[in-house]
Amino acid sequence: MHVDELRTSLQSFGWPDYVVFCFMLAICAVIGIYFCLQLRRESKEVKACGGEEAANSAASYLVGGRKMKIFPITMSLISSFISGITLLGTPTEVYLYGAQYLYIMGSLVLMGLCMFYIFLPVFHDLNLISTYKLLWLPIVIYVPAIAFNQATGVNIHIVTPCVCVVCIFYTCIGGLKAVVWTDVVQTLIMFGAMALVLIKGTMDVGGPGVVWQRAQQTARIEPPNFTLDLSERYTFYSLVLGGVAHWLKSNAISQNMIQRYLSLPTLRHARIAIWTFIAGVLAFLAICGYTGLLIYATYADCDPLETKLAQRNDQLLPLLVMETLGQYPGLPGVFVAGVFSAALSSLSTGLNSLSAVVLEDFVKTFRHQPLSETQTAYIMRSVVVVFGVIFVGLVFIVEKLGAVLQLTITLTSVANGPLLGIFTSGVMLPWVNSKGALLGGLSSLGVMAWMCISAQRDLVTGDLVYQRKPYSTLGCNYTFTGERRAFSSLPLDDAISPASDAPFQLYRISYLYFTLFGALMTIVVGLVTSLLLRESDLDAVDTRLLTPFVRRWLERRRSRRTQLPAGKAAKHKAVQETTT
């Protein structure tokens, strides 16, 4: 059998699978309708009590009235974070480059500590609704379409608009509560889909021992890489230092994540949600990592990328699903529904967050008169529809840009590095003023745009190629274009790529450093600029904007200054101005 015939035969998505898939979409739509009716009831109650209609309408729509429970919020956080990018991208990463990437799980715990002590207390004390917004949603939409294409053969530009219409519908009418409770359903579907694949796939290859043995034989299981070479794809330092910055930009300054923490009634509830969220994400990352090893164990003798059985890197997991579950009607539908659930949760979260940003940071900022309830509702829902249509259109661009995991981290670093630097400066460095933060952010944004675009261009053109782990086509039982051979340009006991002899180029450092580099550049430029301008007045800083331990230091400093005699206070101030 030729590879094209085999690929077609694997696209066995039958009517039971379509029923399962459509049932998932129907559940999401029904949840949206339910919470739409609930929002209307709440609006009528507010009117009857003579409350502030527009403010209450916005709070109910965007943060659930700040009365949400920990369980659905945790499930929503997990579902929003574990998008289709993670479900398809992480197994592909492990299959191609080994399990070194999974050491990034340690940095997730460090991120939790930063959120717990530094960022969340500030955001929660201020009762914010908006923090900023988003660039990656077209990638989120594109990823599940890859899985659907592998399973059915349907063009991705046909399925994405159809599915996104349902997502836009329930997000538009139901607000945050609809998004959160659809996330709960979608998280359960995601977990169930991955569990099916792991159990059946492991049984087919002969058990977890076979998976582990084949991974060890090709150096896919390896100790941490402690090299200091910044251009290495993964090292202990890029995974820990770069990983913390990567996770922070996805949580501490991410509108869609912060909006969920702020929907909880107290800071204590939000802090509990952080750790339950981290536990859930760690579990999903471990599952995805093992899935990558399972894919290699399944195709150890016949690499589907080399034979073009899988036409894109990120179709490896859907291919495994169709080979292991394709003979069971309905089960491929469960998997595709799971991948789309991950995408829909991220898309609905992003659209709901964008409505918060547009309303709070743009409309209310530039409008002098308060909005009515009708105007508020119209603006929030219009934003959801307009941006939903835009993101669906941008899928045409995303499909040309390469593997989704690195693509996502690289491109989002353009804005997220400077944003992380600005937010970190804002809550930790009271010396940084608005001019310094603006200059630091703009400088970092320009440099990061050059770095990220240059790096992605070299990947697309083939000028930058990362050495993948050994693979083979010697055991293929179908014909394909090319010769049968084993591919292992590196010794199996030395799977780390050797340092390149090419001159050092900044944009070719590991993509995990990008966010960290952008944040540090923003902080350094902002701090130096602020100190040179000598416009910072620590006595005028609102301590509510600072993280608790910096807040306490500044308050103690002010207390000491007020206790000094008048003459000494003036002298102390003069000395301070001279030194700064």
At residue 439, the pLDDT reads 94
**Averaged pLDDT for residues 322-346:** 78
What is the rounded distance in angstroms from the CA atom of residue 478 to the CA atom of residue 398? 32
What is the rounded distance in angstroms from the CA atom of residue 522 to the CA atom of residue 417? 8
What is the rounded distance in angstroms from the CA atom of residue 299 to the CA atom of residue 154? 25
DSSP classification of residue 479 = B
Evaluate if residue 290 carries a pLDDT over 80. yes
The CATH architecture one would assign to domain 1-400 is Up-down Bundle (1.20)
At residue 492, the pLDDT reads 38
At residue 527, the pLDDT reads 94
Give the pLDDT confidence of 492-503 residue by residue, as tens digits.
333 334 344 556
Give the per-residue SS3 of 508-543: HCCHHHHHHHHHHHHHHHHHHHHHHHCCCCHHHCCH
Phi, psi of 383 (to 5 degrees): -60, -45
At residue 520, the pLDDT reads 94
The domain ranges of the chain are 1-400, 406-465+507-536, 539-580
**Averaged pLDDT for residues 321-328:** 83
**Which are the contacts of 165, defined by CB distance < 8 A and separation ≥ 6?**
none
What is the rounded distance in angstroms from the CA atom of residue 401 to the CA atom of residue 404? 8
Give the pLDDT confidence of 173-217 residue by residue, as tens digits.
777 777 788 878 878 887 888 888 899 999 999 999 999 999 999
What is the rounded distance in angstroms from the CA atom of residue 401 to the CA atom of residue 407? 7
Chain position carrying tokens 């491109």: 411
Give the model's confidence band at 429: pLDDT under 50 very low, under 70 low, under 90 confident, else very high.
very high
At residue 206, the pLDDT reads 92
**Averaged pLDDT for residues 400-424:** 72
Angle at 368 between CA 367 and CA 371, to 5 degrees: 65
Mean pLDDT (the chain, rounded):
79
At residue 398, the pLDDT reads 65
Q: How many CB atoms lie within 10 A of CB 523?
A: 23
pTM of the predicted structure, to 2 decimals: 0.78
Evaluate if residue 516 carries a pLDDT over 50. yes
Share of the chain above pLDDT 90, in %: 18
What is the rounded distance in angstroms from the CA atom of residue 153 to the CA atom of residue 131? 40
